[in-house]
């Protein structure tokens, strides 16, 4: 077949009508397994490619949800995506994924592109969208979920936790264990990292006794190697007085731990180290690293469930869902 195959070609191979093929492709849950398998086999034989945009215009359903995350290489988002995919598949939803590289302007472009594919809903990471991106989403009139952090001004629906309070409580954890000259190291300095730093500073301000603190940050992407470099800078800045370091994520915490060991600093005897995100590696190293855990899989799962529940329905103001967090205290503090 030299031309592009169409519904009639699929129908001819399957031995059914074009209307039946359309029904199977639009909502396969409403037909028998035998019929669905017959049509799907015909689709494969003909090489038919469904026009989702045209289908969406005809049925008000595209079977697609759009998801934008800041980084495909950041392991933190893997569990979120697992929750999204494992919930989307049983509901016959295809996920179109975009990576905005922590750039609000890149995210804005992706939103415009993905809205052109008529998604049934869109899931975004965080709440730092540009004004134009917010306008696009508000005018699109589809369910929108912002996840990973809480916001006072959600575009539509919101699920996450307070990075400010998590940073506050982790710093309080250090102070309660007697550390009085803590430091903070942060990389990339995206909005969630900035909220953790703000929590660190507020906890120190609220502590009844005066404490000296030190901060080293960079806009470079996070890595274990960078964690070691930032720890070196922190110790130099403090003239060796820093007795604990709160790392904005576990990658930096691992690097800080390895660097401390190279410098013959006992952890936590000479310096305590804690991280954020509770990656598996944090529990496996020696000493194991104290970290902040959050329900990333559940956030992804619930985000899709929120889209499904809101589809085609008028939505009033929906209260954000706070999934909370937990300080996982380990040997490093």
Nearest one of 234, 277, 240, 273 to 254, comparing CA atoms: 273
Burial level of 54, CB count in 10 A (0-12/13-18/19+)?
exposed
Q: Does some domain include residue 59?
A: no
Q: Does some domain include residue 56?
A: no
Please give the Cα distance from 316 to 273 (Å, whole number): 44
The reply to whether 15 and 91 lie within a common domain is no
Q: What is the mean pLDDT of residues 273-287?
A: 97
Q: What is the mean pLDDT of residues 287-316?
A: 90
Q: Is the pLDDT of residue 160 over 80?
A: yes
Q: What is the pLDDT of residues 125-145, one digit of tens each?
A: 999 999 999 999 988 889 999
What pTM does this model have?
0.83
- Please state, rounded to an integer, the average pLDDT across all residues of the chain: 92
C-alpha separations of 225 from 78, 108, 229, 238, 330 in Å:
22, 31, 7, 20, 22
Q: Does some domain include residue 273?
A: yes
Q: Does some domain include residue 55?
A: no
Give residue 54's pLDDT: 53
Give the distance from CA 40 to its chain's centroid. Answer: 33
Phi-psi region of 141 (alpha: psi -120 to 50; beta: other; left: phi over 0): left
Confidence of residue 51 (pLDDT cuts 50, 70, 90): low
The token pair at 43 is 């689709």
What is the 3 state secondary structure string of the chain? CCCCCCHHHHHHHHCCCHHHHHHHHHCHHHCCHHHHHHHHHHHHHHCCCCCHHHHHHHHCCCCEEEEEECCCCCCHHHHHHHHHHHHHHHHCCEEEEEECCCCHHHHHHHHHHHHCCCCCEEEEECCCCCHHHHHHHHHHCCCEEEECCCCCCCCCEEEECCHHHHHHHHHHHHHHCCCCCEEEEEECCCHHHHHHHHHHHHHHHHCCCCCCCEEEEECCCCCHHHHHHHHHHHHHHCCCCCCEEEECCHHHHHHHHHHHHHCCCCCCCCCEEECCCCCHHHHHCCCCCEEEEECHHHHHHHHHHHHHHHCCCCCCCCCCEECCEEEECCCCC
The reply to whether 171 and 106 lie within a common domain is no
Nearest one of 249, 111, 117 to 185, comparing CA atoms: 249
Q: What is the mean pLDDT of residues 212-221?
A: 97
Give the domain extent around 15. Answer: 7-50
The reply to whether 184 and 230 lie within a common domain is yes
Task: Give the count of domains, the chain.
Answer: 3
The reply to whether 72 and 127 lie within a common domain is yes
Q: Does some domain include residue 189?
A: yes
Q: Please count the residues of the chain.
A: 333
Residue 215 belongs to domain with CATH number: 3.40.50.2300
Q: What is the mean pLDDT of residues 255-271?
A: 98
The reply to whether 290 and 301 lie within a common domain is no
For the ranges 27-36, 93-102, 147-156, 261-270, the lowest mean pLDDT is seen at: 27-36
Confidence of residue 118 (pLDDT cuts 50, 70, 90): confident
Q: Is the pLDDT of residue 207 over 70?
A: yes
The reply to whether 284 and 169 lie within a common domain is yes
**Is-contact 134 108, C-beta < 8 A?**
no
Q: Does some domain include residue 331?
A: no
The reply to whether 147 and 103 lie within a common domain is yes
The reply to whether 234 and 113 lie within a common domain is no
The reply to whether 250 and 235 lie within a common domain is yes
Q: What is the pLDDT of residues 39-49, one digit of tens each?
A: 989 888 887 76
Nearest one of 141, 332, 140, 151 to 246, comparing CA atoms: 332
The reply to whether 75 and 44 lie within a common domain is no
Q: Does some domain include residue 200?
A: yes
Q: Does some domain include residue 92?
A: yes
The reply to whether 252 and 304 lie within a common domain is no
Give residue 55's pLDDT: 54
Confidence of residue 219 (pLDDT cuts 50, 70, 90): very high
Q: What is the pLDDT of residues 58-107, one digit of tens each?
A: 445 678 999 999 999 999 999 999 999 999 999 999 999 999 999 999 99
The reply to whether 79 and 172 lie within a common domain is no
């Amino acid at each position: 077949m030299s031309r592009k195959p169409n519904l009639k070609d699929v129908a001819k191979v399957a031995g059914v009508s074009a209307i039946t093929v359309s029904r199977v492709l639009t909502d396969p849950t409403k037909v028998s397994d035998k019929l669905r398998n017959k049509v799907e086999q015909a689709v494969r034989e003909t090489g038919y490619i469904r026009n989702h945009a045209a289908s969406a215009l005809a049925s008000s359903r595209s079977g697609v949800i759009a998801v934008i995350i800041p980084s495909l290489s950041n392991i933190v988002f893997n569990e979120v995506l697992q929750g999204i995919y494992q919930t989307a598949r049983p509901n016959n939803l295809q996920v179109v994924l975009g990576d905005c590289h922590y750039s609000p302007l890149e995210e804005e472009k992706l939103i415009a592109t993905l809205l052109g594919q008529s998604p049934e809903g869109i899931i975004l990471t965080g709440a730092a969208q540009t004004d134009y991106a917010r306008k696009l989403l508000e005018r699109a009139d589809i369910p929108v979920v912002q996840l990973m952090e809480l916001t006072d001004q959600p575009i539509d629906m919101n699920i996450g936790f307070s990075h400010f309070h998590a940073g506050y409580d982790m710093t309080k954890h250090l102070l309660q264990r007697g550390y009085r000259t803590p430091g903070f190291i942060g990389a990339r300095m995206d909005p969630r990292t900035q909220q953790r730093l703000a929590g660190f500073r507020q906890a120190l301000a609220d502590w009844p006794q005066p404490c000296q603190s030190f901060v080293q940050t960079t806009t470079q992407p996070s890595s274990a190697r960078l964690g070691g470099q930032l720890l070196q800078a922190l110790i130099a800045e403090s003239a060796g007085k820093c007795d604990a370091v709160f790392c904005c994520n576990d990658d930096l915490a691992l690097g800080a731990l390895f660097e401390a060991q190279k410098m013959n600093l006992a952890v936590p005897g000479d310096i305590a180290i804690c991280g954020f995100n509770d990656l598996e590696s944090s529990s496996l190293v020696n000493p194991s690293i104290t970290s902040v855990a959050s329900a990333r899989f559940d956030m992804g799962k619930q985000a899709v469930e929120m889209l499904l529940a809101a589809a085609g329905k008028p939505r009033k103001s929906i209260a954000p869902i706070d999934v909370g967090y937990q300080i996982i205290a380990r040997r490093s503090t």
